[in-house]
Structure 1
Amino acid sequence: MGSPASHSELLIATVLLDIALVLVAGTLLGRWVRRLRQPAVIGEILAGVALGPSLLGLLPGNPTAWLFPAEARPFLSTVAQIGLALFMFLIGWEFNPAQLRSHRGTAAAVSIGSIAVSFGLGVALATLLYHRHDTVGADRVGFTEFALFLGVAMSITAFPVLARILAERRLTGTRVGSIALISAAIDDVLAWCLLAVVTAIVTASGPFDLIRMLILLAVFLVVLRTVVRPFLVFLTRRHATTYLLVAVVALVFLAAYVTTWIGLHAIFGAFCVGLVMPRDPAPELGERVRRPLEHVSVVLLPVFFIVTGLGVDIGGLTGANLLELAAIVLIATCGKLIGAIVPAVSFGMSWRDAGTLGILVNTRGLTELVVLSVGLQLGVLDGQMFTMMVLMALITTALAGPLIRSGRTQSTSPTDQDPAAHSSGHSVPSMRTGRTTTPPWSR
């Protein structure tokens, strides 16, 4: 017989076992929620929560503690960050400013309105919640940081999940669907910019440090635009797709390191590389670069869900927390509805279509979890606040599908169809290419 495995070998084996459990649980729950006509991401998030202290940890012997020991969690976090970085790159790559020409006035108004109202209501809500969540561990959280972060978290719209709902409800080619999709894309960019500002404020040790971070960020963006993008364009024109895939992944990780060194989160670097990534030739890039990265992201992202779920403890919520949760869900929903409906109606949309639009942009899904994980890592959110915000993301995302009935909006008439849309209702239009695709992370 061989010698007993060392402690490090057992630790690595435990991490591999954890990943296997996460993939199986996420797949099973994902398939189950799809039968309920919900995005699979809901089931994957629920799997992460179920494997954490909220359910599995309540069983005798606390299986969560020995299945996911404290020593293994940094390794799981590393795997999760790799998947998250690739996901953020794909989100940045999916955004194409050229698509904003269609319905740009209405979409911009809806996007800015929904973010502004949600952000303002989130800051207002922070004044009521701050005194109960102003301490994380032994550290006191400043009100400015707490309020700004809560405002950003309320402003999120999940572009991938929204795109999936549009496809399933056969709204992709309609006017309201096109406006919702474009608004969500604008929301993504604005929300990440807001989060970058808040992160800089939280991590800066003073005004001079904040100025230093902003200068370094500006230099980073200039380098991306003047050096990295031409390099990527050169590789695509030479059809060096094998080298291009390696170069893209290396640049994503390098940019993640640079933004972390600057004082921002790693996701910002990955997202920015996606923004400068060439869009053409679309078929070749989609086949040789985008598809492999999507497949890797699909495998690694569920690990992010379990890492998130380990920080969610529903059993730790008190009666007062449940009232706070109700207020959070109400404010989050009202902010998006008011912020979207008012500008939509002012641009000539019917109240029914505007209401549908407000429901659509209220979806948060995985994108919200990314933002909340940043807040948890920065020490802005305590455990209870983090749990309530995750539940808010689940509730608002789960409500969107049932509230929208296919064919009920006036915009489904042929005269309102987007002439550029060619979707059959079972796939999602790519913001980069106009082709129809189904993002794996929204399944």
Structure 2
Amino acid sequence: MQSPASHAELTLATAMAGVAFILVLGTVLGAGARRLRQPAVIGEIIAGIALGPSLLGQLPGNLTDKVFPAEARPMLNAIAQVGLLLFMFMIGWEFEKGLLRNRRTAAVAVSLSSVALSFGLGVCLALAIHSRHAPGGGSSSTSLALFMGAAMSITAFPVLARILTDSKMMRTPVGALALAGAAIDDVLAWCILAVVSATVTASGGGDLFQIAGLSFVYVALMFTVVRPVLAMLVRRLARRRALPHLLVLLAGGALLSAYATTWIGIHAIFGAFLFGLVTPREPADLLQVHVRRPLDMVSALLMPAFFIVTGLGVDIGGLSAANYLELAAIIAVACAGKLLGAGLAARACGMGWGPARTIALLMNTRGLTELIILNVGASLGILDTSLFTMMVIMALVTTAMAGPLLPRDEEAWGTKPTPAHAEPVKARG
């Protein structure tokens, strides 16, 4: 019989082996996705689902539980959370305010229109299906409605940036406008999700006001106190070439900010994202080489655990016939909100049908950002297994649509390329 120490070591080794499985399978399927003109994240998501109960768990011997035993899953979740928080920090840090320059009006119109329609349709859908997904006093209809509205409103900024780069559309007017609109979309969706998180976490009206007040104070402190102090420390460490200390300062700060927002009562990802927003961008060359690239590599190695955790919560085989009808409705609502909302707004701003259609398809991309939101919903108890599974499938479908349907002619891209600007998020995609 094994001693407790050896059993703990075996459990840890099993968790590490699980990460190794997803690293290899995700790399293989990611490369296959690229050959099919899809972002690599499609293959990585499918790898996580394949190792869960939807495929591996259907084989004789219940292999999913053997490869990812219950004792190892908290460790996998911890690894996934660290990777996720560093990823969200990078998203906030790479957010380029200059994207809105010269296209602010069109970007705001496209973004607000797509978010408003997607949010409204998501709320209506949630109210229609709530009774089937809140057994035994589950999430309230208000929580589910707000959450579904936020989830439908997302455009995956990082994955969109990768699609634009791969299709050579990054510096076209359509690509720049889509990227700017996606940036606004995601900020709005994160704000909505923060409200949902606070609403679910609060035990009453008093708690909700307390969370809102603390959140306001924290955001104000981050921009008025932390940002200037952080800029001073970064300049000083960069001048002294204390590069390891600089890396520790920013990574540690992101994790501590995540702890602070968790303590306040909103999800940890908001703290990491907010710390990224207030992190200085200069000296750009030094930070790119000695901080951003190392953090990108660390995140790339840790994020596979996030795909495992997501895949373990997806059970396609458990969907009923009624669930497939709901899935069709979810996909229809998701596509309608973005395609109509963004496309019609682009037309109203004077764009032709070709560029407007391209904008709409790009804004319908959800990818990894959607998975992050869905995992927040699952952790808050808003989504049950079947609804979580259907929403993950929706994220896959809406992301996979863009590659095959995007037009390849320059007329649909907006004719003249825009001037080069700073590289966007070097994101997983």
Same fold (TM over 0.5): yes
- The answer to whether the 8 Å contact 1:169/1:405 transfers is no
- Check whether the contact 1:176–1:411 (CA below 8 A) recurs between aligned residues: yes
1:216 and 2:214 aligned: yes
The TM-score, its normalising length taken from structure 1, stands at: 0.93
In structure 2, which of residues 281, 284, 287 is the aligned counterpart of residue 282 of structure 1? Answer: 284
8 Å CA contact retained: 1:171, 1:406: no
Closer, same or farther in 2 for the Cα pair 1:77/1:225, shift >3 Å? same
Check if 1:30 corresponds to 2:30: yes
Alignment of 1:32-431 (within 5 A): 32-135=32-135, 138-238=136-236, 239=238, 240-407=242-409, 409-413=411-415, 416-418=416-418, 420-421=419-420
Take 2:218 and 2:282, find their aligned partners in 1: how far apart are those partners?
24
Output one character per residue of 1:368-396: Cα deviation in whole Å (capped at 9) or x when no partner: 00000000000000100000000000000
Contact 2:151 2:370 in 1 (8 A): yes
| Separation of aligned partners in 2, 1:331 and 1:220 | 35
Go from structure 1 to structure 2 and tell me whether the alpha carbon gap of 1:213 and 1:5 turns closer, same or farther (over 3 Å shift): closer
Deviates more, 1:280-289 or 1:330-339: 280-289
2:33 partner amino acid: V
| Secondary structure, counterpart of 1:441 in structure 2 | coil
User: Offset of 1:208 from its aligned partner?
Assistant: 0.8
For 1:409 and 1:165, the matched residues in 2 are separated by 18
Equivalent position SS for 2:335: helix
2:95·2:425 contact (CA, 8 Å) conserved in 1?
no
Deviation at 1:407, TM superposition (A): 2.1
Preserved contact between residue 111 and residue 182 of structure 2 (Cα < 8 Å)? yes
Matched AA of 1:215 = G
Q: Within 1, Cα distance between the matches of 2:154 and 2:428?
A: 17
Q: Which runs of 4+ in 1 moved over 4 A?
A: 2-5
Deviations 1:333-364 (A, max 9, x none): 01001110121111110111111100000000
The one-letter amino acid of 1:435's match is: A
Contact residue 83 and residue 298 of structure 2 kept, 8 A:
yes
Residues 144 and 440 (structure 1), Cα distance of their counterparts in 2 relative to 1, 3 Å cut = closer
Say which SS state the counterpart of residue 428 (structure 2) adopts. Answer: helix
Give the letter for the 2:118 counterpart: S
Q: CA RMSD in A?
A: 1.6
Instruction: Give the letter aligned to residue 124 of structure 1.
Output: C
Q: In structure 1, what is the Cα distance between the partners aligned to 2:372 and 2:4?
A: 39
Structure 1 residue 50 displacement after superposition: 0.2
Letter in 1 for 2:388: F
1:140 aligns to what SS in structure 2? coil
Gaps of 5+ in 1: 422-433
- Whether contact under 8 Å (1:203, 1:263) holds in the other structure is yes
1:43-95 CA distance string (max 9 Å, x none):
00000000000000000011001110111111100000000000000111111
8 Å CA contact 2:159–2:427 kept in 1: the answer is no
- Scaled by the length of structure 2, the TM-score of the pair is 0.96
Structure 2 unmatched ranges of 5 or more: none
Check whether the contact 1:213–1:263 (CA below 8 A) recurs between aligned residues. Answer: yes
CA distance in structure 1 between the partners assigned to 2:425 and 2:23 by the alignment: 20
Corresponding residue of 1:424:
none
Is the contact between residue 232 and residue 244 of structure 1 (CA under 8 Å) also seen in structure 2? no
Contact 1:171 1:412 in 2 (8 A): no
Contact 1:295 1:440 in 2 (8 A): no
Cα distance in 1 for residues equivalent to 2:147 and 2:187: 16
TM-fit CA distance, 1:408: 5.0
Identity %: 57
Measured against aligned partners, the alpha-carbon deviations of 1:135-172 in whole angstroms (never above 9, x if no partner) come to: 2xx54221100111011110110011111111122211
- CA drift of 1:218 comes to 1.4
- Deviation readout 1:247-293 (Å, 9 max, x if unpaired): 11111111111111111111000000011011122111111111111
Match of 2:426 in 1: 439
Task: Measure, in 1, the Cα distance between the counterparts of 2:268 and 2:3.
Answer: 40
Pair 376,345 (structure 1): closer, same or farther in 2 beyond 3 Å: same
Question: Could you tell me whether the CA contact under 8 Å between 1:298 and 1:440 is conserved in 2?
Answer: no
Q: Residue 171 of structure 1 aligns to a residue in which SS?
A: coil
